[in-house]
A and B are shown apart, each in its own frame.
Chain A
């Protein structure tokens, strides 16, 4: 049987004394946590050990200068092989073995490594006494030179409670005021605010702030990391937003932007008009039905004319609106980006309208054609049985049905072309919005704190351990050095991503193509209403 003893490196050079630690059941291992030095009163030591909850084993650590050779007698069996695994106590204490969830109590079924890590991290109370304390028991452990602490951390801890309380109060007041004003117009406002990205982003950030500013301490490692990640991403967001504001307002760029906006909108409208004129002619050599072409083309041209008039009406106010909107970037770059996405949606509203008209017309036509084709063959859709059945029609039904079928069939290419053109335009706009949304999502969910930890203190996120041989000679027990294997970067990002309302495509490609073919309205991005982890 092989016995493993996990021995802290800081105790290598300690004076001789009593080793205290834990015995891991079922694994034939022991974790040594500290050394109690002579002289001590056995009664007090027993009381202390019992208070702290360790097991004191009656071993003696005899120090003989440089490398300590330990003679030990194991109670019980003789002639077993012993392996000494040296570990760095501070690192193991502060690190967290992944995968962290679910946090289960240490039972016999958890793995040995997990038990070792868990034992060390749960023995925090043992490490409070350092050598400057006046207690009857003198210990050596990783903190015995003096407890670790920093002034900044302490100050922040003291300041955090009132700040958290203040933030929480502000948030409660804000949400109350918003909900009060919302009571006035329940349905339209809620619908609009669910469609606008900026409102969604705002509510999302409010939720985050509520998480961060809750006065209770984070209990588990996951909660702690999540709070820290949210806080860091919020800081990053605000910093980037402030940078953006600085850049925007420095050389009156807002004014330039406002001045460039109107000609841009005009140009978009002109391009659309040219496109419609091209469609009304003979586009790409296709032969369109002239009458229908003219009707549709004139209808859309009138819409564009209305839109341009509207934009020109708004032009004196644009600069002021942009100025105030730019100020709102202090709430974060994500908010500014979602505002931009909303502005794009509003500016291309006419494209959306055209798409809806074209799609509805096309959908109606396809529906009519399929139904009349069935009439052509003398069949009917049986709603009860959900299948196509034969049917004997009256003469006038047949006659009118055939006439309508002929008309719809010959008008199909014209409608299909308009539908195609406007669907493509709409897809372009949706793509642009999608890219913006993806950026916002990325900033929202990126775990900056976890990555910083991984870079600067890689031992805190442990994936496993690696052993290197220190001393291997026959006749002496094997000495191994245990080093922590840090988590891979990709695993860090994957594990600590903040849950977002990320948008992802609602339909598969095949379903999307089918919807496009039938003329159903598509909304390709769907916001998840429930968070995923």
Chain B
């Protein structure tokens, strides 16, 4: 445990103009006042013994505890493993190990399961509002599916003329942006930038899938079929948009289950990547370990080097409590 108490600064007597000893006779009879507009017999940069009396160090310092920080850092690790899982699915589809139809049906199944869990864990309102919520959810789902299906043929040839390196670079950038801008504190309505970046990356990846040889016999073999694109986009929606909501609900209602789920996600991420690319799995494990275990340690260790000073020279903070003006 680290403790920091605010220290006080001893008055510095060797500052110039201190009233104890000028050498040119006794000090002036009038005491020095800290005002700006009055002409005083002191030089302009004179300070007296009360200098820096109001200095406070490190006030409002938080006391971190290691395991609490680790638990919070686990959220970041979880999001990283989500991304890794998504990439694993893409790799599987690219290498032809999974067919899009199986993936599609499993995705649909997962969505239904997840929705069931969500409703089961959710607050029990009256059946009327639940009915309305279910109806609006159904509407949203149908809009998603129809739009995605409608745009898939357009989306699949979108990056045909862009070189593969550019596509991969854009994907990496977008996923990084997604991780950086993810609202870890409140993930339930997903943040705009993070969700959009993830979807952009998934569209880029989806247009790079190899084609379905049955459907595209006469065409260029590297253009993916619409089903690939559709599957990819559905899974992107599941992983990046709907899973955080379920996770948040789980965390609120069943904290122990939440811990298990976190662990499961991490392991499946590493395992999935390991089945295709072992080097990547090692890298992912290292990153996860660093984020979860090393960074909190660093944070707590470095707290002792903190040295903030506060004083009356700080900017004024407006407190939100203006209710006393409303009579």
Contacts and interface: CB of A to CB of B under 8 A. Distances in A.
Interface of A: 287-291, 375-378, 392-393, 395-396, 398-403, 405-407, 410-411
B180 to A, nearest CB: 13
A393 B192 contact: yes
Contact of B160 (A289, A375, A398, A407): A289
Contacts of A376: 192-193, 196, 200
Contact of A405 (B140, B161, B200, B237): B200
A396 B161 contact: no
A377 B155 contact: no
28 contacts: A287-B161, A289-B157, A291-B154, A291-B157, A376-B196, A377-B192, A378-B192, A392-B192, A395-B140, A395-B190, A396-B140, A396-B143, A396-B144, A399-B144, A399-B199, A399-B241, A401-B196, A402-B195, A402-B196, A402-B203, A403-B147, A403-B148, A403-B199, A403-B203, A405-B196, A405-B200, A406-B155, A410-B159
A408 to B, nearest CB: 10
Contacts of A396: 140, 143-144
B158 interface: yes
Contact of A398 (B151, B196, B204): B196
Contact of B237 (A287, A399, A410): A399
Given A376-B200, A392-B189, A403-B148, 16 more contacts: A287-B162, A289-B160, A290-B160, A291-B157, A377-B192, A395-B190, A396-B140, A396-B144, A398-B190, A398-B199, A400-B143, A403-B155, A403-B199, A405-B200, A406-B204, A411-B158
Contacts of B140: 395-396
B193 A406 contact: no
A396 B199 CA distance: 12
B292 to A, nearest CB: 29
Contacts of B203: 402-403, 406
Contacts of B157: 289-291
A406 B200 contact: yes
Contacts of A395: 140, 189-190, 195, 241
B191 interface: yes
A377 B193 contact: yes
Contacts of A410: 158-159, 162
Interface in B139-173: 140, 143-144, 147-148, 151, 154-155, 157-162
Nearest to B191: A378
Contacts of B189: 392, 395
A290 B160 CA distance: 8
Contact of A407 (B144, B154, B196): B154
A367 B190 CA distance: 26
Nearest to B162: A287
Contacts of B190: 395, 398
Contacts of B200: 376, 402, 405-406
A268 B155 CA distance: 37
A398 B199 CA distance: 10
Contacts of A406: 155, 158, 199-200, 203-204
Contacts of A291: 154, 157
A290 B155 CA distance: 13
B308 to A, nearest CB: 30
A392 B200 CA distance: 19
